[in-house]
Chain A
Amino acid sequence: MASALINVPRKAKRGDIIEIKTLMSHIMETGYRHTAAGDLVPRDIITSFICRYNGSEIFRADFFPAIAANPFMSFFTVAKESGKLEFEWIGDNGFSSTASASITVE
């Protein structure tokens, strides 16, 4: 069950700097662990996280195995207009998950 927790203020004044917090459920298997039998557990991580504000990219991150499981990401943006924030996580083995949140800017 891939679930995401997004925290975006519902309302903001134009020009306010707002904090966006995201949490995505993912094991972030590093690819450096081994089973008791000695076999390598293959890497399975989220490699990329993108946030778009009314279609334009406002934040992007490359994740490596050193990012902890259930990746948390907080960043800022200037509230410029009402609309939608869209989030996308892409990773190994075709992992892809999206979420969105609306914001009203007055």
Chain B
Amino acid sequence: MKRTPPTRRSFLSLAGSAAVAGAVPVVTLRPLEATPAMLTSAIRNVVGEAPVRTGKVKLDIPPLVENGNTVPMTVRVESPMTSTEYVKSIHVFNEKNPQPNIGNFYIGPSAGRAQISTRIRLADTQKVVAIARLSDDSFWSTSVDIVVTLAACTEEVN
């Protein structure tokens, strides 16, 4: 190894491509981090100048994740989901990953229930924000603080 990883995080992240046939050994050095400004501007790209109200949206993520690489997440929005009153889309953002966006999910009245589940990556202890756009183009949001710890053991990049 020619280069000494500069931080504890990056040393501990010497992640396993260990002996995976054909794969290139990788290390994760501390990547650029999203800043609060990036988060704000990513949200602005979606909502524009419209006000964002708190409420209606529920974000289900385990408060202490088992592993930041794969974090189960469910977003639910209270809505009758009729043809006149429904959720158009759900947008999820984060605070400290290299990039502020996590995913955009487009549903509509045919969904019946405004609920999506997926698995996300969280690089560090941080805030996750979910914003729903309703059929009347109003925006509702919620945010949660998630604690992310690193795995105890590292793998040799070999």
Contact = CB atoms under 8 A, between A and B. Distances in A.
Asked if A and B form a direct contact in the complex, defined as CB atoms under 8 angstroms apart, the reply is yes
Interface of A: 17-18, 30, 32-38, 41, 53, 56, 58-69, 71-78, 80
A74 B15 CA distance: 28
Which of A33, A36, A66 has the most CB atoms of chain B within a 10 A radius of its CB? A66
Interface residues of B, number: 39
A94 to B, nearest CB: 20
Contacts of A30: 98, 121
Given A36-B26, A72-B119, 4 more contacts: A33-B26, A36-B2, A66-B122, A68-B119
Contact of A66 (B25, B111, B120): B120
A63 B115 CA distance: 16
Contact of A58 (B1, B108, B117, B122): B108
Interface in B103-129: 103-108, 110-113, 115-122
Given A36-B1, A76-B112, A68 B26 contact: no
B103 A64 contact: yes
A37 to B, nearest CB: 7
B104 A61 contact: yes
B111 A77 contact: yes
Given A32-B28, A33-B28, A74-B118, A62 B103 contact: yes
A67 B71 CA distance: 9
Nearest to B92: A66
Contacts of B119: 67-68, 71-72
Contact of B70 (A58, A65, A69): A69
B135 to A, nearest CB: 16
A58 B102 contact: no
Nearest to B119: A68
A34 B84 CA distance: 49
Contacts of B104: 61-62
A20 B86 CA distance: 19
A7 B93 CA distance: 27
Interface in B99-158: 99, 101-108, 110-113, 115-122, 157
A73 B117 CA distance: 6
